[in-house]
Structure 1
Amino acid sequence: MSRLEGRTAVITGGATGIGFASAKRFVEEGAFVFLFSRTRSRLDEAAAKLGPHARAVAGSINEIADLDRLFETVRAERGRVDILLANAAISEPTPLGQIAPEQFDRVFGANVKGLLLTVQGALPLMGEGGSIILTGSSASVKAFPNFSLYAATKAAVRSFARSWTPELADRGIRVNVLSPGGTRTEKALELMGDEGIEALRGATPIGRVADSDEIGAVAAFLASRDSRFMAGSEVFADGGIAQI
C-alpha cells in the first residue's frame, strides 16, 4: 500500500507502543517519519527497526527548545509536515483524595500543555492536505477507577479537536482524535500489570484488548486521503468498551 507515499509525518511518543506501531504502518505506506520521545536509546532502537525512512529526535514535548529543534530538523531535511500524530502522554493512576498538586501539573502539563505546544510547533510547516491526529482515550467518556486525572486530560484533547477544526479549515488542515481502548503496550503493562490487562479484556465487548498494530492501522487511515472528509471527529478503536 502507498496511501502515504512521499508524505512527512511527525509522531510524538513514537519509540514504543501505539506511537511506534503507527510509525511502522506509516513507513509501510510510503511516509518518512520523525520519531520524537525523551529516551534516546529507545528512539534509536525504534528508528533502526524502521529503516532509512525514519529519523529519531530526542526531546520533551514540555520543552519549547526541544520542540523547536525537532521542527527545525524536519524543516531542514524535509521542508514540511504533512501528518502530525500527537501521541505522547503520561498516566499516573491515583484515587480521588490522593492526587497531589504537582501530580496534576505533570499529567496536564504533558497531556494537554505538551500536546498544545506540539501542534503549535508543527503548524508553520503544515498546509493544504495536512492531517493532525490527537491521541485520545476511551477513558474520556467511560469511567475507570483511579484514572480521573488522565481522563480529564483526554476530554480536553477532544475539545481541542473541536475548537481547532474551524480555526484550521481555511488552511486545509484536518484535526481528528483517535481514541483507543485497552491496548497491550509496554506502558499499559507497567501501569496495570497482567491482572489489569485481563480486567480490560473482560470488560471489552469483543472479548480482547487491542494489539498496537490495530491502532496504528486506524492512525494510517486518519493520516491518509481516505479520511479526507473527516474533521473534528473522534474515532474509537476500543473494541466497543465505551460504546455499549
Structure 2
Amino acid sequence: MVKVLDNKVAVVTGGNAGIGREIARAYRAEGARVFVAGRRQDELDRVEAEFGPEVTGVRCDVGRLGDLDALYATVSLFQPDQRASASGDREGCSATALTRIRE
C-alpha cells in the first residue's frame, strides 16, 4: 500500500517534544523520511531510537541562522530532488525560504 508521504522528506522543527514530536511520528507513519530539529540532543537521540532509522535528529536552534544553514545542508544531502513542504512545494526547505527568514 502506498502511503501519502512515501519518497518525501519532512523537516519538523521542535520535533523532539510535544506536538512537534507527534507531527514527526505522523509523518513517519505516512512514509516520510523525517528530520527532527531541536535544541536538546538527548531528546533528539530518544526520538531517533523510538522512531527508527528513517528519522534523523538534528541539533538546531531555529533562532540562529547558522543552525538553519546547517539544518538545510543536512537535509539537502538526502535526495535533494524530493524535498517537499507542507504546501506541496517541491523545493520545500529552500534557500529562498531561509532568505525570507533573514529579511
- The two structures share one fold, judged by TM-score above 0.5: yes
Give the TM-score band, short-chain normalised.
Answer: 0.7 to 0.9
TM-score scaled by length of structure 1? 0.35
> Shift in Å at residue 59 of structure 1?
1.5
- Indicate how the Cα distance of structure 1 residues 72 and 125 shifts in structure 2: closer, same or farther if over 3 A, else same: farther
* Larger relative helix fraction: 1
Give the match for residue 70 of structure 1. 71
Separation in 2 of the partners of 1:38 and 1:11? 12
Q: What is the CA deviation profile of residues 150-180 of structure 1, one whole-angstrom value per residue up to 9, with x for unaligned ones?
A: xxxxxxxxxxxxxxxxxxxxxxxxxxxxxxx
Give the match for residue 203 of structure 1. none
Give the match for residue 82 of structure 1. 84
Give the match for residue 53 of structure 2. 52
Give the match for residue 21 of structure 1. 22
Identify the match of residue 122 of structure 1 among 74, 93, 97: 93
Q: Which runs of 5+ in 1 are unaligned?
A: 85-120, 127-244
Give the match for residue 31 of structure 2. 30
Give the match for residue 61 of structure 1. 62
- Indicate how the Cα distance of structure 1 residues 50 and 61 shifts in structure 2: closer, same or farther if over 3 A, else same: same
Q: Which runs of 5+ in 2 are unaligned?
A: 87-91, 98-103
% same residue: 32
TM-score scaled by length of structure 2? 0.79
Q: Match of 1:122, SS?
A: coil
Q: What is the CA deviation profile of residues 71-105 of structure 1, one whole-angstrom value per residue up to 9, with x for unaligned ones?
A: 10111123153135xxxxxxxxxxxxxxxxxxxxx
Give the match for residue 9 of structure 1. 10
Q: What is the CA deviation profile of residues 171-215 of structure 1, one whole-angstrom value per residue up to 9, with x for unaligned ones?
A: xxxxxxxxxxxxxxxxxxxxxxxxxxxxxxxxxxxxxxxxxxxxx
Alpha carbons 1:5, 1:31 under 8 Å: kept: yes
Which has the greater radius of gyration? Answer: 1
Separation in 2 of the partners of 1:52 and 1:83? 21
Q: What's the RMSD between the two structures over aligned residues?
A: 2.1
Amino acid at match of 2:20: G
The count of corresponding residues between Structure 1 and Structure 2 is 90
> Shift in Å at residue 12 of structure 1?
0.2
Amino acid at match of 1:61: V
> Shift in Å at residue 125 of structure 1?
8.1
Separation in 1 of the partners of 2:32 and 2:43? 21
